[in-house]
Structure 1
Amino acid sequence: MVVIGRKTFIFGGENIPRVPFSNIVHCLDMDTCTWSELSTTGDVPVPRFADSAAAVGHVMYIFGGRTGINMGEGNFNDLYAFDTRDNVWTLLKPSGVAPSPRSFHAMAVVANRLYVFGGCVEEDRLNDLHSYDIATNTWEQQPTNEDIERRGGAGLIAVGKDLFVVAGFTGRELNDVYKYDTDSKTWSKLTLDKELPPRSVFGISSMSTFIIVWFGEVDPSGKGHLGGFSQDGYIMDTCSKAGWELMSCSGETPEARGWMPIAPCQLNDMDGVFLFGGTNFDKKRLNDCHYLSIKL
């Protein structure tokens, strides 16, 4: 899911566990609060789930995901661009070495580059980082920090020119935070006074110098993802070592969930984050929408 201007675009996902839903792009007009199914042309991707999405300008980029039941089965490493002005898909054919096929990875944007981190392959998880230069249509592998445990369901978010890897799942829920300086191409682990409660498959966004984490799977999940879900949100100032603060929110809090996207957006002249769908305690796939306005 991405938010571009006053519209939300959603692609991929599942209603039945591990069965791709469709390759339809759904669009929510946030001014009229109406949904539509877009008629698209071009190189339309096959249905998939566990893919990643990011927006640069008017374009939504989709990378990877999978179609198979088992870990790593049917993984992709293709990269698509969807032009939201004319609803045209383009299968990109970059030079350089592309990331290996994967699912449940994370993607973020710094300047004119997409960054892809981690994810799941057959019988393993990953901790590698790759960048895609939009201007030159080129993949480049970034340095790997082997201190970072291999993981899926992590958060990857940009604050300025820095990338932050937050938590994830490696057979257990994690709560660590690593920073990657995209200029110097160096990694560092953050030491924080207040740590994030361990979690994976959560929503993540940023605002100014802050990182916002919302919901996610939190209970110990020794045999796969069998844990419970959180209903809380945390915020961290990347310019401070104080760490994570529990967010105090007014209004009706959405039910606990994980496996859902959030994206920054503006509503009623307020900055905040938009949430769509997810999976609840009963393993039901949701299709509700929520907006949280945030005043820093």
Structure 2
Amino acid sequence: MPPIARWSLLTKASWSSRSSHCVSTTKSGLIVVYGGELKPRTPVDAAASPQDGVLKGSVHVYDLQGSLTSIHPDATAYRTWKTLAPNLAQDAFLQIPEPRVGASTVIDGESIYLWGGRGGVDMAPLDNAQAGVWRGTLDIPSGVTWERIAAVNEEEVPETRSFHASAILEDKIYIHAGCPASGRLSSLHAFDIASRKWLALASAPEPVRGGTVLAATSLPSAGPVLVRYGGFSGYELPSEPGTIDVYSISNDRWHTTQPAPDPMHGFPGARSVHGFVPFRSRKAFATDAVALLFHGEKDASNLGHAGAGTFWNDVWLLSKNPEAGITGGWAWNKIENPSSGPVPEGRGWLPGAVWDDAAGDSHVVMHGGLLTSNERSDELWELQID
């Protein structure tokens, strides 16, 4: 029997509806949501006082596995959404990131790192001071404390942008592609958390793009790598069916390869603003699993950012033979949706996130996103493969 995508709807909360937002997971299984938009080009969570709504700088958390039981006596409250407002210093909002859309977050331990995005009246990419790097410390249950992390080599800070890809691996934050004030990019930069230095790395194969995704992992044959799939460059990518780009961190080099197609379903379709996360499982079908691809934009709207196009609702497993070189042994396999049971409708303009439990199995989460109806979803889904 082929593997099946088992979706579980964890919660719905109308106030959480959004797209173009950030979703990350801590090692303890806490889902952390930041930013995004409910109305096109209007950042959410932008209030200056609690009376006006959700304070800017707030994050929203959901306890995926009940890990807060030993930390907080009211842990059951975290099985629904909990908003952590910013802990305000004497200089108040000067030390809090401005509301934004199209940013990205990664998590190192229990700290969240925010970079990029666009905001303000004209929705231009934020300036260097606001774009980041910002570190948010989650103080359960009191709030979140933000700190602007200044680079020691500010002259090397990458160009500000939105709808870029980010990943964290071995205490380095990687920022790739995205949309600056005009056009799109293919550059790759790394920020070393310990030294606070930016490093310019090899640019990825063109075309330039926004809305792409990186899955950070380590391969037996190549060491730590970043795997890229999809994006948008005036059209959905990749141009060649199923093609992936693999960045080798050890030798600062990109490789392009076309994995073997699924015997029955061929290749996943071109897409952008989709889910693409590292994936592992103890189950036999996933012995060589590398990443999981799901949902995303299939065709862009004629109205641009003001409208909704069409979206995928599929799930694909990317695997690799560990004995093959960096460009060999890759394969796509489509994961079937169940014949009965819940399946989320297609959506895009969302980030994927994953949490690995103590047993070594990945729990993939999907929150929010833009639907074909041009409405923003308020759903939080968990995906496991059986």
TM-score (norm 1): 0.92
SS of 1:163's partner is: strand
**What is the deviation of 1:266?**
5.1
RMSD: 2.2
Contact map agreement 1:271 1:294 (CA 8 A) in 2: no
- Whole-Å Cα distance in 2 between the matches of residues 102 and 233 of structure 1? 29
Selected match of 1:148 from 199, 206, 214: 206
Distance in 2 (alpha carbons) for counterparts of 1:233 and 1:140? 34
- More moved, 123-132 vs 221-230: 221-230
More helix by share: 2
If each structure's strand is expressed as a fraction of its own residues, which one has the higher value?
1
Of residues 22-31 and 94-103 in structure 1, the stretch that sits farther from structure 2 once superposed is 22-31
Say if 2:173 is the partner of 1:119. no
Q: Map of 1:172-251 to 2, 5 A cutoff? A: 172-175=235-238, 176-194=243-261, 195-208=267-280, 209-219=289-299, 224=304, 227-239=309-321, 241-250=329-338, 251=341
Shift of 1:222: 7.1
Matched, 1:83 2:137: yes
Is residue 33–residue 61 contact of structure 2 (8 Å, CA) maintained in 1? yes
User: Are the counterparts in 1 of residues 116 and 126 from structure 2 also a CA contact under 8 Å?
Assistant: no
Deviations 1:156-197 (A, max 9, x none): 111111001211000000023111111111111012232331
Task: Tell me which of the two structures has the higher relative contact order, counting C-alpha pairs closer than 8 angstroms and 6 or more residues apart.
Answer: 2
- 1:143 Cα shift? 1.3
Native 8 Å contact 1:171 1:224 kept in 2: no
Matched letter for residue 311 of structure 2: F
Flag structure 1 segments of 5+ consecutive residues without an equivalent: none
Do 1:202 and 1:217's aligned partners in 2 also have CA atoms closer than 8 Å?
yes
Q: Distance in 2 between matches of 1:281 and 1:203?
A: 17
User: Quick check: 1:253 aligned with 2:325?
Assistant: no
The verdict on how the C-alpha distance between 1:70 and 1:120 changes in structure 2, with shifts beyond 3 A counting, is farther
Q: CA-to-partner distance for each residue in 1:120-166, whole Å, 9 max, x for gaps?
A: 01230000000000110111110114x32100000111111100121
1:219-261 deviation digits (Å, cap 9, x = unpaired): 2667746530111111111446453221124331111100112
In the alignment, is the contact (CA less than 8 A) between 1:173 and 1:198 conserved in 2? yes
Q: Give the letter for the 1:58 counterpart.
A: E
Gaps of 5+ in 2: 1-22, 46-55, 67-75, 90-94, 219-223, 262-266, 281-288, 322-327
Correspondence for 1:27 among 61, 64, 71: 61
Stretch of structure 1 that moved more, 49-58 or 175-184: 175-184
- What is the aligned residue count? 294
Task: State the percentage of identical aligned residues.
Answer: 29
Structure 1 runs (4+) deviating above 6 angstroms are: none
**Aligned AA for 2:168?**
V
